[in-house]
Amino acid sequence: MVCIPLAYVTARARLPVRIAVKTLANLPLILPPSVLGFYLLVTLAPSSFIGHLLEGLLHVRFVFTFAGLVIGSVLFSLPLMFNPCMAGFENLSPTLEEVSYTLGKSRTRTLFSVLLPSIRPSLLTGVAMAFAHTMGEFGVVLMIGGKIPGKTLVASVAIYDYVETLNFPAAHAHAALLLLVSCVILVTVYLVNIIPVFSSGPPHRVR
Amino acid sequence: MLECTLSHTLHGSEGPINLSIDFAVNDGELIALYGKSGSGKTTILRMLAGLTKPDKGRIYVNGVCWLNTEQGINIAPQQRKTGLVFQDYGLFPFMTVRKNLEYGLGRGDDKSIVDSLLQTMGLRELARRHPNRLSGGQQQRVALARALAARPRMLLLDEALSALDPVMRSGLQNALEHTIKSVPVCTIMVSHDLAEIFRLSNKVLHIDNGKIIACGTPREVFKR
């Protein structure tokens, strides 16, 4: 939801803007999760200006809550969705868009009927990878969520706690489940990209 | 009737070229743009379609202003509906041939035009295929049919018949000739094929280095 418009606008922007947005969007990939989590914690805390503003305006508290987990996860997994979207838009032949305009179709119609379906494999890959990645994150959710059982304790952090308390059977169960789900997601992504209906490579040319 | 005066600086591989042209085409007429590559032919089509804005110029179609840089008028490609057939076709890869044609239709248009176009262009058997399973010539026919499905106010063909074999080419030239006569629009075609130019066009503009160096019937232009 955040990445598609961001990538669409960025792919059409001037070079310095493109570089700036790509850098920012990819920071979560490079930064230690604890750094990202720390800055989020500091920025969103009720004592900070932004945190105070958000709590006043939206009546939502982001620190040690589920809402905070969502914000953290979106930022943390942003590159995994943004990069395929961006590559999809950049590699798309500009002719497709121009043809649609000369056929009398608006920009919005062109985006939804031509551009997004053309980069469908990239979108599917992005969604699946971002989902899988979110499931496996640790540092950010620990920092901003604070592992409150029943509220902000997620599977990856729970496993760490189980091991700490030597509760190996519970750790095994959680770990195996995460492993299984991750495998299923990856296999699905690769399968979907093989099926011709879903993958839309450039038209095969015979000259 | 199309009247246009366009001037634009192109940045070609051999340095900048000043494109400066002035011509008129009557409805039902087919005019061919001839000249070596890089002389600005495709840019002329793009400027007519509204995809490239010229530095200076005017375009009037049947008295309606599409572009007048002095008055700051520049109508969007969507309102011009020029039926541009691109050199690389621009077929939508995830749509079948039929869906590609249907995309050209306007809201509330009769879908039967799609069937008749599929028939005329010899595409009926291929209607359910995706573009990546078609040959170059077949793709070109789909692109042309899609442009016609949108009922363009003008037809712009950028070497639209180049990838066809001689038999298919001749058949399509017939269809094109028929279409141009049946719908009162003007057609501008970029072509390198003299036989095609002689067969289809009423007038040829020989363009070199951004300027019209010869203009007239094919016989007049190519007598030398």
Contact residues, B window 28-67, toward A, CB-based 8 Å cutoff: 49-51
The structure tokens listed for A108 are 């919005």
- Which 3 state secondary structure label does DSSP give A167? coil
- Distance between alpha carbon B139 and the CA centroid of its chain, in Å? 15
- Show residues of chain A in contact with B77, CB under 8 Å: 98, 101-102
Please write the tens of the pLDDT for every residue from A2-20. 778 888 888 877 888 888 8
User: Would you say residue A192 has pLDDT above 80?
Assistant: no
CB contact under 8 A, B78 and A93: no
Q: Among all residues of chain B, which has the CA nearest to that of A201?
A: B93
> What pLDDT does residue A152 have?
67
Length of chain B: 224
What residue type is assigned to position B104 of the chain?
G
- Which 3 state secondary structure label does DSSP give B68? strand
User: Would you say residue A207 has pLDDT above 60?
Assistant: no
> What pLDDT does residue A195 have?
65
- Which 3 state secondary structure label does DSSP give B81? coil
Please write the tens of the pLDDT for every residue from A130-185. 888 887 777 777 777 777 776 667 777 888 888 888 888 888 888 888 889 888 88
Contact A48, A42 (CB under 8 A): yes
> What pLDDT does residue A10 have?
82
Q: What domains sit in chain A, N to C, each tagged with a CATH number?
A: 3-146 (1.10.3720.10)
- Show residues of chain A in contact with B185, CB under 8 Å: none
> What pLDDT does residue B58 have?
92
> What pLDDT does residue A201 have?
46
Contacts of residue B94, Cβ cutoff 8 Å, sequence gap at least 6: A117, A118, A120, A200, B130
Contact B206, B35 (CB under 8 A): yes
> What pLDDT does residue A196 have?
55
The answer to whether B139 faces chain A, any CB pair under 8 Å, is yes
- Four-residue CA torsion sign, B89, B91, B96, B97: negative
Mean pLDDT in consecutive groups of 10 residues from the start of chain B, 224 residues: 89 83 87 86 90 91 89 89 87 90 84 86 87 85 88 86 73 73 81 84 88 87 78
Please write the tens of the pLDDT for every residue from A35-86. 888 888 888 877 777 777 777 777 777 777 777 777 888 888 888 888 888 8
Please write the tens of the pLDDT for every residue from A81-126. 888 888 888 888 888 999 999 998 898 899 999 899 888 888 888 8
Q: For residue A204, give the nearest of B49, B51, B132 by CB distance.
A: B132
Distance from CA of B81 to the nearest CA of A (A): 5
Instruction: State the best of A91, A99, A198, A204 to mutate against chain B, taking most chain B CBs within 10 Å.
Output: A99
Q: For residue A203, give the nearest of B91, B104, B106 by CB distance.
A: B91
DSSP B217: -
> What pLDDT does residue A101 have?
92
User: Would you say residue A202 has pLDDT above 50?
Assistant: no
Q: Which uninterrupted H or E stretch holds B144?
A: helix B136-149
The answer to whether B147 faces chain A, any CB pair under 8 Å, is yes
Contact B79, B71 (CB under 8 A): no
> What pLDDT does residue B163 have?
66
Tokens 């006569």 correspond to B181
Q: For residue A96, give the nearest of B90, B106, B139 by CB distance.
A: B90
